Amino acid sequence: MPYRYLLFYKPYNVLSQFTDDSPNARTRSAVKPATLKDFIPVANVYPVGRLDHDSEGLMLLTDNGQLQHRLSDPKFHHTKTYWAQVENVPTESAIAQLRTGVNIQNYRTRPAIVDRLDEPDLPPRDPPIRFRKNIPTAWLEITLTEGRNRQVRRMTAAVGFPTLRLVRTAISQFRLTDLSPGQWRDLNTEELQLLKRLWVMR
């Protein structure tokens, strides 16, 4: 049978795995995070990389284990683009730091593409972020070539502008279009050809 390749719009508070195998899963409160199993009724597919439970956005899944491993390997530097809503309005100095690299957990991040972003047209988050009347927020578009744990959140916090909401909008040239939170679809013919080119080129 041919391999399956899926795009999924992960909602907020959903684990990017099919089972909740965390150490505190049995003792967690009655309201447990959902998993991919609650949304994707396709057997034997696994995510290419992860997305934190409190982040939203695009995930790629496949049952092609070799491709999954290759695309998950940090050495191939696949780009990932995020829209980050941050607390307060970032200064030019802070944006310049994000672009050149910041120190987080004894590691200096690679240069990133960072631009200011008008408030995007996104579905409301459930629950919404906490609104604070006297503290403005702003949006940034951040493109990385690495994917360390909670990297965007740690980067913006390091320059003084904590992330309040985080949405991954692109993985390489695959984009979060024609999907609503919780929806998934198979890659179309054009996207499959793109995926094969990316795989071969790397």
Active site residues: 52
* Alpha carbon distances (Å) from 56 to 8, 26, 50, 72, 165: 10, 24, 11, 18, 8
Q: What single DSSP character describes residue 124? A: P
Strand partners, 9: 58
Which two tokens mark 125? 């988050």
Helix or strand holding residue 23 (H, E): none
The CA-based dihedral angle spanning residues 149, 39, 183, 168, taken in that order and rounded to the nearest 10 degrees: 0
The phi, psi pair for 134, rounded to 5°, reads -95, 5
Under 8 Å between Cβ of 60 and 171: yes
Q: For residues 41 and 152, what is the distance between their CA atoms, to the nearest angstrom?
A: 30
Note whether 179 and 117 are within 8 A (CB). no
